[in-house]
């Protein structure tokens, strides 16, 4: 095999073959199964998303009070 050929995992290939709508649908189905027997609320999920975004983008992602 040539060195320039990139190894592709099967799950990446399958997702690449799906349309954007099918990808979102698959992601929701996976999430639904993963969290089926938990007692998470929508507020718990939104708090987790905020924390991840703050870590990823820093404090700049918070609402700004002034206009540009």
Q: Where are the beta strands (DSSP E) in the chain?
A: none
The model's pLDDT over 4-60, given as tens digits with 9 standing for 90+, comes to: 556 767 777 777 788 888 888 888 888 888 888 889 888 988 898 889 888 888 865
Task: List the structure tokens of 15.
Answer: 């997702």
**H or E element in which residue 26 lies:** helix 20-34
Q: Is residue 34 part of a domain?
A: yes
Distances (CA, A) of 7 to 11, 12, 15, 19, 37: 12, 10, 15, 22, 35
Q: Is residue 48 part of a domain?
A: yes
At residue 3, the pLDDT reads 54
At residue 2, the pLDDT reads 58
What is the domain extent for residue 17? 10-61
Q: Is residue 45 part of a domain?
A: yes
Cα dihedral angle (8, 12, 17, 23), rounded to 10 degrees? Answer: -170
Residue 61 pLDDT level (bands cut at 50, 70, 90): very low
Number of domains in the chain: 1
**What is the rounded distance in angstroms from the CA atom of residue 48 to the CA atom of residue 30?**
18
């Amino acid at each position: 095999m040539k060195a320039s050929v990139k190894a592709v995992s099967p799950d990446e290939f399958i997702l690449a073959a799906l349309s954007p709508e099918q990808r979102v649908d698959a992601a929701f189905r996976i999430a639904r199964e993963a969290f089926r027997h938990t007692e998470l609320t929508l507020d718990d999920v939104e708090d987790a998303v905020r924390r991840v975004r703050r870590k990823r983008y820093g404090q700049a992602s918070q609402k700004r009070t002034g206009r540009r």
